[in-house]
Structure 1
Amino acid sequence: MINRTSAANAGALVRALREFNAKAVIGKLNPIIRGWAAYYRTVVSSLAFAKLDGHVWTLT
């Protein structure tokens, strides 16, 4: 669900922070990942509920 531009930006950030320790890299990536999760939260849940609704419909 992550678009290519955002994934490329995250990859560039990781490459730029290659010399830093894991805690620093995670600290920089955490806000980006949280933003992706917040943005796509409703899309993913609506897809899951749509599949569940279809499954329940076929059972009845």
Structure 2
Amino acid sequence: MPPEAGVLSTRVATLADAARTLAADPPRARQMGKEARAHAAERYGLTRFLRDWRRTLQEVTR
């Protein structure tokens, strides 16, 4: 995940600090949410799925 899209960690303290920081800065939290959504749509969205599926079908039918 790109840093501008949020905080990713297995450390509870890191996540708690990030939550406090974002709660104190709603505009930044909104922007990070937009970035995270765009990243998820690009990586896991229907457009990507269909592109990958089409490529897979082409590979197995050659």
More helix as a share of residues:
1
Under a length normalisation based on structure 2, what TM-score does the superposition of the two structures give?
0.40
Given the two structures, how large is their TM-score scaled by the length of structure 1?
Answer: 0.41
